[in-house]
Amino acid sequence: MTVTADLQQGTGVPYPGWADEVRELARQRGAVLLAHNYQLPAIQDVADFVGDSLALSRIAAEVEADTIVFCGVHFMAETAKILSPEKTVLIPDERAGCSLADSITAEQLVEWKAEHPDAVVVSYVNTTAAVKAETDICCTSSNAVEVVASIPLDKEVLFLPDQFLGAHVRRTLKRENMHVWAGECHVHAGINGAELTKRAEENPEADLFVHPECGCATSALYLAGSGAVAADKVKILSTGGMIDAARSTHAKSVLVATEIGMLHQLRKAAPEIDFRAVNDRASCTYMKMITPMALLRSVREGTDEVHVDPELAARGRRAVERMIAIGQPGGGE
Ligand code: 13P
Ligand code: SF4
């Protein structure tokens, strides 16, 4: 395979010694490199920390480095800036957006709040800084259930923007007074129940690891409930939760319903397990904008710097801080 083909498939690096050069430039800049689990394998391998959005937010809040290079999508880098306004936050390509974050605007949220003036607003971290500024508590897929459970039962909840994650939380907590925005991520919505059912039938011994943003999360639970798949084999997990589950499962094969970048960390965590994507076309174009060359440019030139309006950041900070406290050992509310 040529270097160019390698790079297009996310398996390659631009030239030998590339990773050492990135690390040296990051060191000179006093920068720490964070990478989300959906990043290209080469980016994950050069990063100082790889994780899910909650783990990376916690690291961004605590890390000592003056500069954070966030290899992920824009809302993740914005969240780091909200938590650490005194730090320089870089994202290697500022065009790396998120279709889910785009599914609600701050104006739409303000209108929704006006219809439910006493409700507590829970926003998934996949939202813009302007939406976070209108939010009471943020959550990620790994602590959404705990965040909603922390809200008194007599309080209405507005949960946004992901309908599948919202349905998962409502189902888990059996909470009726929770309204869910009808947003979705185009990558996860595309992993559908029919596909999951077919793959599960073809691989009856396999565990199913399903991200709660997936269109197939309900089908996965139906398969478990109907006995088509043993209930203990179906796991609804954040990307970080999938790594923990990979280390503890006794299964020889696992079907993975999420963005395909996840397979790299899973295979590193448990090389003896056969991990297969439920949908191998489930690739997030935004995550894949963070190429090795973009990262190199970022650490060399200090691009692209992330700015959040200080007034918006101040209004959103409490909601993000509550998110990183909930689900933390000794930190729950
Ligand atoms: P995690 O919080 O599970 O890392 O997911 C982030 C995300 O963008 C999922 O699409
Ligand atoms: Fe956003 Fe979906 Fe990409 Fe995650 S996979 S960053 S939710 S578009």
Picking from 122-126, 173-177, 180-184, 324-328, which range would have the lowest pLDDT averaged per residue?
324-328
d(CA 26, CA 23): 5
140 lines ligand 1 (CB under 6 A): yes
Q: What is the average pLDDT value for the chain, to the nearest integer?
A: 92
Q: Given pLDDT bands bounded at 50, 70 and 90, which one contains residue 331? A: very low
Q: List, in order of start, the domains of the chain with CATH numbers.
A: 5-97+286-307 (3.40.50.10800), 101-184 (3.40.50.10800), 191-277 (3.40.50.10800)
Residue 217 near residue 193 (C-beta atoms within 8 A): no
Nearest atom in ligand 1 to the alpha carbon of residue 284 is: 10
- Helix residue spans in 122-213 (DSSP H): 129-132, 144-149, 163-173, 186-189, 193-202
SS3 197: helix
Q: Which numbered ligand comes closest to the C-alpha of 98?
A: 2
Q: Are 185 and 75 in contact (CB under 8 A)?
A: no
Q: What are phi and psi of 298, to 5 degrees?
A: -65, -50
**pLDDT computed for residue 226 by the predictor:** 80
162 lines ligand 1 (CB under 6 A): no
Q: Which residues, 6 or more positions from 240, have their beta carbon under 8 angstroms from its beta carbon?
A: 37, 51, 52, 54, 55, 142
DSSP 100: T
For a substitution probing ligand 1, which of 239, 265, 285, 326 has the most ligand atoms within 8 Å of its CB?
Answer: 239
At 89-118, the pLDDT tens digits run 999 999 999 999 999 999 999 999 999 999
Distance, CA 201 to ligand 1 centroid (Å)? 27
Question: Cis bond leading into 292, ω under 30°?
Answer: no
Whose alpha carbon is nearest atom 6 of ligand 1?
53
Q: Is the CB of 141 under 6 A from ligand 1?
A: yes
What distance lies between CA 123 and its chain's CA centroid? Answer: 13
**Is ligand 1 within 6 A of the CB of residue 239?**
yes
Q: Ligand 1 within 6 A of 52 CB?
A: yes
| CA-closest residue to ligand 2 atom 1 | 98
Task: Check whether 130 has a pLDDT greater than 80.
Answer: yes
Distance from the alpha carbon of residue 259 to the mean position of ligand 1, in angstroms:
9
Question: What per-residue confidence (pLDDT) applies to 302?
Answer: 98
Q: What is the pLDDT of residue 4?
A: 47
In 227-291, where does DSSP find H-type helix? 239-248, 262-269
What spacing in Å lies between the alpha carbon of 15 and ligand 1's midpoint?
30
Q: What is the pLDDT of residue 12?
A: 67
- CB of 124 within 6 A of ligand 2: the answer is no
331 CA to middle of ligand 1, Å? 21
Mean pLDDT over 150-164 rounds to 97
Q: What is the C-alpha separation between 199 and 69, in angstroms, rounded?
A: 37
Task: Write out pLDDT tens, residues 182-214.
Answer: 999 999 999 988 889 999 999 999 999 999 999
* Alpha-carbon span 237 to 38, nearest angstrom: 15
- At 152, give phi and psi (nearest 5°): -50, 140
Ligand that lies nearest to the alpha carbon of residue 185, given by its number in the listed order: 2
Q: Has residue 246 got a pLDDT over 50?
A: yes
Ligand 2 neighbourhood includes 282 CB (under 6 angstroms): no
Residue, of 149 and 195, whose pLDDT is higher: 149
> What percent of the chain has pLDDT above 90?
83
